[in-house]
Structure 1
Amino acid sequence: MKSELSNGDKAIRVRRMFSRIAPRYDLMNRLMTAGQDVHWRQEIIRLARLEPGARVLDLGAGTGDIAREALRQQPECVSVAADFTLGMMLAGKPRNLRGLVWCAADALNLPYADNTFDAVVSGFLLRNVADLPRAIAEQYRVLKPGGRWVALDTTPPPQNSLLTPFIRFHMRQVIPLLGEVITGERDAYVYLPTSSENFLQAETLAQVVERAGFREVAFRRYLFGVVAIHRAVKPANSTV
């Protein structure tokens, strides 16, 4: 994201913002995406191809929707929901499922050993980190060789689409207004669309992922091209 904030300042700002909107975060996601985010989270776990006994890390888990979806699709997995915002985890914990583990974690300094997880997944995390290459490198490090990486995030609206003016109006006007009405936090829902428009194009993000060492990198766009799910595999012969 384009920003004049230092890495530390951005981390503090993002943590405070998500703490404020945590109680209505899931409701706002349903409204902003017309419920499509539920299907995207299901697709993330489908692409992760979890086997019985697999260990999956949902990084930037927020209220834990993806971590819970992992247990729904594969009840015999170990699902770890990790986030650096306590308020988000507290908002999600009442909906706990058996086998779900919560953990406080910074995406830039993960508290896990190398080659710990069979899958690392995330939803709307990457555009919020202060150092994207480092965050991806950390996810690569804790993923087992042959493990799968899947990330859902926004991507800037297509430049040549007739729908782009309407998409931008929705992002810049409708979402902040909706955020103010539902959460009382208009500024947070100005930041979220702005961070989306300033984030990497899906093709560029795929290149960053590939440079981190991942292979079989691919992505698919959703919601008129403003959301994408990227997926990749850590090489089976990796020594990191």
Structure 2
Amino acid sequence: MPRAEDVQSMFNRISGRYDLMNRVMTLGIDKRWRNAAVRAARVDPSTRALDVCCGTGDITFLLAKAGAEHVVGADFSEGMLDQARTRQASHGDPAARTRITFQQGDALKLPFEDNSFDAITVSFGVRNVEDIPLAFREFARVGRPGARIVCLEITRPKSKVANGFYDVWFDRIVPTMGAIITRDRAAYTYLPESTKTFPRPPKLREIMQAAGIDDVSWKMYGGGIVALHSGVLPLSAALDAEAVSAQRDEVAGPA
């Protein structure tokens, strides 16, 4: 895998045409996948959400539209964040302008306190980090007890027919599209390479569980080329804290 600095530079280079390339590359279907991810996050008016590897803000804006109290979009690419802020400034939805904050942040060392968020999403980004288990441990660290953790990511399909189409599309067609649309063939040659070493859905579930995330499940989309994992942080820590508080009150007696 390329160094983090190289990946960061790559995303800075392609940020201006990133959204257009996503729409063309997925034939526009990626919007459905992102909406599914937001539904899995189960936000409500009391939710403080974090969108990691937010890119130009697709999921970030959807989380605000879904009713989250506040959404933080974090990405290590300033080029991507510049695009997100430009979109925010001219966005037609008032929630996008008033309930979203964009800031630079590394998924492996998030600049947030423990227990800060009720929902954490990452879409098409976690395969780009150097240490995937560490990334999920960071998500668990900044999540509150009961927080939803949602991961939307490209994966290789199981069927031979789908795999054949996948190889032709991502190994041959997508790099050519990338060269034409973004003038950066290398960035879209990296894309299929990054999916070849990314954990398959059962293994990714194990990684999430090892990070302390419970009830992890996944759904497949796009004929098996996209996996949507979701889980929840345990409530035990919060329940233990409540029990300790109750015991203290009992010992102290009535005021």
Using structure 2 for the length normalisation, give the TM-score: 0.88
Q: CA RMSD in A?
A: 1.4
Mapping for residues 64-213 of structure 1, pairs under 5 Å = 64-74=57-67, 76-96=68-88, 97=96, 98-158=98-158, 160-213=159-212
**Alpha-carbon distance in structure 2 between the residues aligned to 1:182 and 1:95:** 20
Q: Is the 8 A contact 2:156 2:166 kept in 1?
A: no
Q: Which amino acid aligns with 2:64?
A: L
Secondary structure of the corresponding residue to residue 238 of structure 1: helix
* Structure 1 residue 93, shift from structure 2 partner: 1.0
**Alpha-carbon distance in structure 2 between the residues aligned to 1:102 and 1:13:** 22
**Alpha-carbon distance in structure 1 between the residues aligned to 2:76 and 2:211:** 23
Q: Is the 8 A contact 2:44 2:66 kept in 1?
A: no
* Structure 1 residue 40, shift from structure 2 partner: 1.2
Q: Which amino acid aligns with 1:94?
A: T
* Structure 1 residue 53, shift from structure 2 partner: 2.6
Secondary structure of the corresponding residue to residue 184 of structure 1: coil
Secondary structure of the corresponding residue to residue 72 of structure 2: strand
Q: Percent identity?
A: 39
1:102-157 per-residue CA deviation (whole Å, 9 max, x = no partner) reads 11111111111111000000111110001111110000000000110001011123
**Structure 2: tracts of 5 or more residues without a match:** 89-95, 239-255
* Structure 1 residue 196, shift from structure 2 partner: 1.1
Alignment match, 1:61 = 54
Q: How many residues align?
A: 231
Alignment match, 2:11 = 18
1:51-108 per-residue CA deviation (whole Å, 9 max, x = no partner) reads 213100000001011010011111x520101001000010121221221101111111
**Structure 1: tracts of 5 or more residues without a match:** none
**Alpha-carbon distance in structure 2 between the residues aligned to 1:23 and 1:95:** 12
Alignment match, 1:221 = 220
Runs of 4 or more, structure 1, over 2 Å off, are: none
* Structure 1 residue 169, shift from structure 2 partner: 0.7
Q: Is the 8 A contact 1:123 1:152 kept in 2?
A: yes
**Alpha-carbon distance in structure 2 between the residues aligned to 1:166 and 1:62:** 27
